[in-house]
A and B are shown apart, each in its own frame.
Chain A
Amino acid sequence: MAHKDLREFIEALDKAGHLVKVKQEVDWNLEVGAIIRKACELEERATLFEKVKDAPGVRILGSPCATYARLAVAMGMDAGRPVKEIAKEFDKRIANPIKPLLVSSGPCKENIIKGKDIDLFKFGVPMIHDGDGGRYISTWHFIVTRDFDSSWVNWGMYRQMIHNETMMGGMLLPFQHIGKIFQKYEKANKPMPFATAIGTEPLCAVAGVLSPGMGVNEADLAGGLRKEPVELVKCETVDLEVPAHAEIVIEGHVLPGVRVDEGPFGEYTGFSSAPRNPRPVYEVSCITHRHNPILTVSNMGMPVDDNDIITNSSFRNVANSVLAGLPVVDVDVPAYGSCHLVVVSVRRAYSGIAHHVASAIWGSKLGSQAPYIIVVDEDVDVFNLGEVIHAVVMKCHPVRGVHAQPNSPGHALWPFLNFHERHWGQAAHLLLDCTWPVDWDPNIEIPAKISFGTSYPKALQEKVVSNWGKYGF
């Protein structure tokens, strides 16, 4: 059963023991950010700040989905389910999209603010990290845009920083869907309408992180994840729709040909790697919000945070689809890899299979997101990072197993690139082939694996397991 809004999700987190309510006043200036960051690094509970300095009536929900347990709660599952089970359920739901419903009104229309009354600062927006270029109002949200020359509507989670009461800045990279759409508007010298939905029911925000192909509406995927349609309402000043239950909606236009310094910002990579640079500008024409709105905040940095959990689910889903037809057993995008690492297990089918896998992933949209790929044999559990590391150091030859691919597309935020490379998106990719070569004789050249499951007769294993308690363990 889907949660009808963020408030119902918060109640479910509380009931499941995955929420801390902070009743004392906290300062939006770094204190909120510091608390969320420490909670992430301890893999602690989500945080509901009930009293924010200078923002009467506003609450902040910190790191809504920074653990798999919270993702499970968002999906209506038991918080204790194993990661693999959550992942499989996620994939099943994504495969069954449900179109949204248009409704006449909803809670997000309880307050409608236009003109001189617009003030982005009134929501207690935190200064998340020391050194950030500004107060980032959009860190757990999605931005709605419609394609310039088709009916495709994109939902995406792209950062937005407050410049002043009515203007925001953000990074619109050309390989991102929003960047591709904006390029069309800008070429025609037209402002691009946008609507930012903050504080939606969590699976809508999760859908905003998914990376389906061009032309796929994330609203349909959100419906699939929720197992029921998302109710949308029309915006006030732009021809777009947003979830009726959103806590805060910011409407306006991205201005063509206009760039203003934005950033830096502590990002999902665990670093603040993209310097302050001239970037596109969002001009706000209307804000609607619920009474006593709840601002959702993700504090990205060293893993694990919301991005690591959600991109794991979305990138794994994309990787699964581009690998269809190959002898792939399982795929994971480990949270500690912050979506830059894809681990794939394969059946030992033919020579060069690791390259086949890597080429398929790098040839897809993930090519500009996942520079590292590890391919392992099927006996390695890709969801067990310990097993994966063991495979790397024991089965990947330091020369023959390592395959660097220069001149690959990169990302402005990748910390290992130099300034010039970040500027131009010039990168390299790396494949670690941890599979036994197909031409190694299993009886002669492939070493026997030493483990409880492989080094003892089945009958003895069963005996040991059944007597385990009797041995004193």
Chain B
Amino acid sequence: MAREYDTYTDDVSTIKEGVEITIAIRETDIYRTRVVKAIVSSNKKALPDGDTLWVRYNLGPLRPEPWAIKILADVPGLLIKKAVGDQ
């Protein structure tokens, strides 16, 4: 059964489609964060065996059209980033 995830970005062009990427996603059933190696696509037909990936803006609103995600492997831990903002 297809599962649902979501991820956050204001600029969808930063998510590379059709190639293996490392991305932080949330399981939308319990809102647990996972880091995965995956292939994603804005066109669900391009990944027919993929799960649903909803994309949210960084302030929370949901984009209307879901993407697709094919998870290849889990990456342990969280996706560490450089500190920016909240100064």
Shortest Cβ distance from residue B22 to the other chain A in the assembled complex, whole angstroms: 13
Shortest Cβ distance from residue A297 to the other chain B in the assembled complex, whole angstroms: 15
Contact partner of B59 among A261, A272, A425, CB < 8 A? A272
A265–B23 alpha-carbon span in the complex (Å): 21
Q: Are A412 and B85 in contact (CB under 8 A)?
A: yes
| A70 part of interface (Cβ distance < 8 Å) | no
Q: Are A278 and B58 in contact (CB under 8 A)?
A: no
Q: Given A131-B60, A272-B59, are A258 and B86 also a contact pair (CB < 8 Å)?
A: no
A258–B80 alpha-carbon span in the complex (Å): 6
A171–B78 alpha-carbon span in the complex (Å): 17
| A458 part of interface (Cβ distance < 8 Å) | no
Q: Are A277 and B84 in contact (CB under 8 A)?
A: yes
Contacts of A259 in B (CB 8 A): 80-83
A174–B85 alpha-carbon span in the complex (Å): 11
CB-CB contacts of B43-81 with A at 8 A, as 1s and 0s? 000000000000011111110000000000000001111
Contacts of B86 in A (CB 8 A): 171-174, 274, 277, 279, 412, 423
A131–B24 alpha-carbon span in the complex (Å): 16
Contacts of B34 in A (CB 8 A): 164
A273–B81 alpha-carbon span in the complex (Å): 21
CB-CB contacts of A273-289 with B at 8 A, as 1s and 0s? 11111110100000000
| A33 part of interface (Cβ distance < 8 Å) | no
Contacts of A412 in B (CB 8 A): 85-87
Q: Give the number of chain A interface residues (Cβ < 8 Å).
A: 37
| A132 part of interface (Cβ distance < 8 Å) | yes
Q: Are B79 and A261 in contact (CB under 8 A)?
A: yes
| A424 part of interface (Cβ distance < 8 Å) | yes
Shortest Cβ distance from residue A235 to the other chain B in the assembled complex, whole angstroms: 24
Q: Given A171-B86, A261-B24, are A281 and B30 also a contact pair (CB < 8 Å)?
A: no
Contact partner of B85 among A164, A167, A423, CB < 8 A? A423
Q: Are A164 and B78 in contact (CB under 8 A)?
A: yes
Q: Are A424 and B61 in contact (CB under 8 A)?
A: no
Q: Are B33 and A134 in contact (CB under 8 A)?
A: yes
Q: Give the number of chain B interface residues (Cβ < 8 Å).
A: 26
| A162 part of interface (Cβ distance < 8 Å) | yes
Q: Are A135 and B31 in contact (CB under 8 A)?
A: yes
A423–B85 alpha-carbon span in the complex (Å): 4
Q: Are A127 and B31 in contact (CB under 8 A)?
A: yes
Q: Are B82 and A278 in contact (CB under 8 A)?
A: yes
A127–B28 alpha-carbon span in the complex (Å): 11
Interfacial residues of chain A within 112-132, with CB under 8 A of chain B in the complex = 121, 127, 129-132
Q: Given A133-B8, A277-B86, are A121 and B30 also a contact pair (CB < 8 Å)?
A: yes
Shortest Cβ distance from residue B48 to the other chain A in the assembled complex, whole angstroms: 29
Q: Are A131 and B83 in contact (CB under 8 A)?
A: no
A129–B34 alpha-carbon span in the complex (Å): 21
A425–B85 alpha-carbon span in the complex (Å): 9
A161–B42 alpha-carbon span in the complex (Å): 28
| A95 part of interface (Cβ distance < 8 Å) | no
Q: Pick 25 A–B contacts, CB within 8 A, sort by A.
A: A129-B60, A131-B61, A131-B62, A132-B60, A134-B26, A135-B31, A162-B31, A167-B78, A171-B86, A173-B86, A174-B86, A258-B80, A259-B81, A260-B33, A260-B79, A264-B58, A274-B86, A275-B58, A275-B59, A276-B8, A278-B81, A422-B85, A423-B84, A423-B85, A424-B87
Given contacts A131-B59, A132-B60, A260-B24, 18 further A-B contacts (CB under 8 A): A131-B56, A131-B60, A133-B60, A134-B33, A174-B86, A174-B87, A260-B33, A260-B80, A260-B81, A261-B81, A272-B60, A273-B59, A275-B57, A277-B58, A277-B86, A278-B83, A422-B85, A423-B85
List A residues at the B interface (Cβ < 8 Å): 121, 127, 129-135, 162-165, 167, 171-174, 258-261, 264, 272-279, 281, 412, 422-425
Across the A-B interface, give the 5 residue pairs with the lowest CB-CB distance, nearest first: A131-B60, A275-B58, A278-B81, A276-B58, A423-B85
